[in-house]
Amino acid sequence: MGTMTLHTTALDASRGIARSTRPRLAAATALVTLSIAACGRFRFTPSADDSGPGGGLLDSSPPGPTLVQQSTSFMTPVSSLTGTLPRAPTPGNLLVILAAYLEGNLQPPLGGGVTDWRFADGSIIHSNIEIWYGVVSAQPDAAVTISAAMTNSTTPILATVRLQILEWSGLVATKQEVLDAASAGSGGVSPASAPTIMTTHPADLVVFGISDLDETSMIGAPTDGPWQALDPIKVLDDSIQRSWYRTISTAGSLAPAVADPAAKPKWDAAIAAFKVAP
């Protein structure tokens, strides 16, 4: 059977570095009180000394989606894998997973407090990648399990399984409506990309993932950005999975691509856009 390898990492965004949304002040002399929101945003509250039409906060843009926490793990050789977030997710938030079983496709995930996991899209030609999502119920769970899909009741082949779990707030909390668009594809030449998606919602969170059988592949950020990198999964002498996210504020087409410098690229890619809550 060989040696079994397990690797896992996790990040709780509530313990990370807060970044300012850089709201604009109408007057340089406006007094503000700065408070750090729980999920890493700055909120500016005008003080009681502000008066007149020029005082206080002018730009009150909506908070938008926030990456609350993430977890990455892989194990080889196996046919299932359980990943665990740093803490139980919040009911009403969206869990998104980017995952793969190198010998085929996956069954719907289990756990996370999601009662109905849904398949966005995926490709299982080379190194494989699938995107699944679900809204957290009133009984959240930090653990999520993925397993190889059974075919003809045969025992699945033991292989590498990769799992990335993302918790997001600020998205539409209805499972039937949260997905705006998705696509997946594969290829053997650079760059690596999924087919173009056409979004229809005014604002979306877009998650983009690529895997390759050469773990040195996919250097750099995707085109059609800017993008924020998520934690990669690198399995030595086996495969690599990289992923990114961005928010868009207008509906339209999106076709990111990533340069793949491998001598013989063998990649799979998937992209999904999720609707931002109004």
Q: Give the Cα separation of 267 and 277 in Å (integer).
A: 33
pTM beyond 0.95: no
Check: CB of residue 229 under 8 Å from CB of residue 67.
no
Residue 96 lies in a domain: yes
Predicted confidence band of residue 4 (pLDDT cuts 50, 70, 90): low
Q: How confident is the model at residue 41 (pLDDT cuts 50, 70, 90)?
A: very low
**pLDDT tens-digit profile of 227-248?**
999 999 999 889 999 999 999 9
Residue 211 lies in a domain: yes
Question: 250 CB contacts (<8 Å, ≥6 apart)?
Answer: 202, 203
Q: What range does the domain containing 187 cover?
A: 5-14+63-275
Please report whether residue 172 resides in a domain: yes
Average confidence (pLDDT) over 210-219? 85
193 pLDDT above the threshold of 70: yes
Confidence at residue 109, expressed as pLDDT on a 0 to 100 scale? 98
Q: What is the pLDDT of residues 49-87, one digit of tens each?
A: 333 333 333 333 446 899 999 999 999 999 999 999 999
3-state secondary structure of 197: strand
Whether 24 maps to a domain, the answer reads no
* Number of structural domains found in the chain: 1
Residue 51 domain flag = no
